[in-house]
Amino acid sequence: MPAYNFKTWKAEKVRTGESRQTIRPVRRRRTVTHDVLYLYHGQRRKTCELLRTKTCKSVEPVEFAFGLQIEGGPSLVMMIVNGKILTYAETYAMARADGFKDVPTFIDFFVKHYGVPNSRPLELIKW
């Protein structure tokens, strides 16, 4: 029964079903298919709110690979999910399913919050 906490900007997207997945660092006790996921906003606060309870559909490893820097920011060379290199269109669809408006915003989030590409392993959790 894994629990995941979401930031304010994403909480409403999770609640409405606009966001149907999350990419997170791999946990010691891994999430597996068919686990019941408890999706929260404001965990460890008085205002904690359960957004949804969903069943995990799949868990897949995710990698980001970067190339040359353009205008001082990271340039995404590829996103790899379960060993498959995604096209830009597939990466855009992944960003939208995760609640982001576009690929640059999606990538910037992972660079800032998880230290991509030099972070610990990530996994894509779908519900």
Read off the pLDDT of residues 50-85 as tens digits, 9 standing for 90 and up.
999 999 999 999 998 876 555 665 555 678 999 999
Per-residue pLDDT, 120: 78
Sheet strands side by side (includes 36-41): 3-6, 36-41, 49-55
What sign has the CA pseudo-torsion 65, 109, 68, 119? negative
Residues in the chain: 127
Q: Which position has the token pair 């995404």?
A: 76
Q: Which domains does the chain have, with CATH numbers?
A: 3-126 (2.30.130)
Q: Tell me the two tokens of residue 77.
A: 């060379």
